[in-house]
Amino acid sequence: MDSEGSISSIKQPVARSSFVDKVKKWASLVPSYLILGLWSLFTVFSILWVIASSFKTNRELFTAVWSLPSAFQIENYIKAWTTVKMGQYFSNSLIVVLASVFIVLFLSAPVSYILTRVKFKGSGLLLLIFTAGIGIPVQLLYIPLFILLTQIGVINSLWGLGLLYVSLSIPFTVFILSGFFASLPKELEEAATIDGCTDFQVYWKVLLPLASPGLITAAIFNFIFLWNEYQIALVFINDPDLRTLPLGLYALSNAMQYTGDWVGLMAGVVIIMVPTIILYTILSEKMIAGITMGSVK
């Protein structure tokens, strides 16, 4: 009886201490989850409010701020798409962003593969030089880039804007993809070489498909950044017909101050948000998996 009593007395404090540890752990997580939950609710509410407001009339926007529209005003989107040329700005952004993202991935993937999988003298220094470009403020490059684009004759054009987007996005993309290529097992490369694959076939048929989560992650980050980019386009695009969506939205907001058509401005905001929301909704799981994969070597 004494031995059983001593064993039960030992188990009871151990169980109690483990319960206390769990309570302390959950208590320490409550503030973080509370802040994240409130921020998520605020973000979702803001998006839904903008979408609902874009279907209202101007009178409803000020008299029934928090209510749903009495009738869905599709005319707001038609007017924003045609009269204010948001459709043209949308096509400009779509062309330059998709082309830039494709070229960035096409150039950054082989560079990341060579710098991480092929060992040669100075490979680490080259990778450091590529990634150091992330820390350069783009504002310091405006004057030399403006002179350069003027000399080669692509200033004030979508071609010139796309060239800037590609060159400024490569350092970040190489930084992201190098982590993915470095995390892939070396044995796969050796097995493909034994089977008779050339170096290019190893890269194209074996490692590049395995790094597809990294490519998707880099594509999403670059697409969101370039789709919402405003400052570079403002400096290097002067033709109103070549404006991207952020420039068009800014011009629309200035025009709405004089016309008072605030629901049209809401419709323009929704037009900008829809592609990024759709893209993230479709590829969010692959993006999260890609970030997790790239963070573990």
Tens-binned pLDDT, residue by residue, of the chain (297 aa): 455 555 555 545 555 567 666 767 777 778 888 898 999 999 889 989 999 999 998 888 888 888 888 888 888 888 888 877 888 999 999 999 999 999 999 999 999 999 888 888 888 888 888 888 888 888 899 999 999 999 998 999 999 999 999 999 999 999 999 988 888 888 888 888 888 888 888 888 888 888 888 898 899 899 989 999 999 999 999 998 899 999 988 888 887 777 778 888 888 889 888 888 888 788 766 666 655 554 444
Chain centroid to CA 160: 22
Residue 83 sits in the same domain as residue 131: yes
In terms of pTM, does the model score above 0.85?
no
134 and 27 co-located in one domain:
no
Please tell me whether residues 192 and 157 are part of one structural domain.
Answer: yes
CA distance 29 to 208: 39
- Same domain? 40 vs 81: no
Please give the residue range of the domain that contains residue 92.
75-294
